[in-house]
Structures are given as structure tokens and as C-alpha cells.
Amino acid sequence: MKTRREKIIELLSKHEEMTLLELADLTNVPVKVVVQDLDSVRKTIRSEKKRIEVRPAICMNCNYTFSGRSRISDPHKCPECHSERISPQKFRIASS
Ligand SMILES: [Zn+2]
């Protein structure tokens, strides 16, 4: 029996890219739990010379790109135009 975190590692290694919501749906936990899991996974896969790659969230109104964030959770509001229409971050695991 795999743990949820092992399942997340498997999903992110196999699939191209996944959002927090997709991971939450597939593992049957709330998004905030997936955020905690990814924080932990980010540390544990380091020893395997792998890392989590993040495609940044983008404001759908003004195209502001949320690059260089260290937090796993999705941003809710654009700092430029204050729109809340944000396309979510996408994650995958890659060899570093
Ligand atoms: Zn914006």
C-alpha cells in the first residue's frame, strides 16, 4: 500500500504537469493537504537528485506571471491588476 505522498511523487513523475486541484482530486484530500505534501516531497526527493518543477501561475487578465515564488500554494490575486482570475501553477517532478 502506497502512502499518499508516494502516490503524489508517482503522479508527478509520470504525468506531464498537474495542478494542486488535480492532485487533490486524485488523492481525495483537500488542496491545503496537497500543499503540505508537496512541501515535504520537495525535501525528500532531493536525495534522489530530483526536484519539483513549477510552471508559474499567470494572471488571465493582464498576463502577470507569478515567477520565483517559493510557496507551493496558488496565488489568489494579481498584484498588478488585482484580478482573481489566475490560471493555477502546474507541477511536475524532474531530475535535477
Ligand atoms: Zn493581473
pLDDT, mean over the chain: 95
Taking only the tens place, the pLDDT of each residue in 39-78 is: 999 999 999 999 999 999 999 999 999 998 889 999 999 9
Q: What is the pLDDT of residue 42?
A: 94
Question: In whole angstroms, what is the distance from residue 96 CA to residue 60 CA?
Answer: 30
Q: Where are the beta strands (DSSP E) in the chain?
A: 50-55, 58-59, 86-87, 90-95
**Cα–ligand 1 centroid distance for 56 (angstroms):** 13
- Grid coordinates of 85: 482570475
**Cα–ligand 1 centroid distance for 82 (angstroms):** 6
DSSP 15: S
pTM: 0.91
Q: What is the pLDDT of residue 59?
A: 98
Q: What pairing do the DSSP bridges indicate for beta strands 58-59 and 86-87? A: antiparallel
Q: Which residues lie near ion ligand 1 (Cβ < 5 Å)?
A: 59, 61-62, 64, 78, 80-81, 83
Q: What is the pLDDT of residue 63?
A: 98
Q: What is the pLDDT of residue 21?
A: 97
Q: Span 29-36, mean pLDDT?
A: 98
Kindly tell me if the per-residue pLDDT of 80 is higher than 90.
Answer: yes
**Cα–ligand 1 centroid distance for 88 (angstroms):** 13
**Cα–ligand 1 centroid distance for 49 (angstroms):** 35
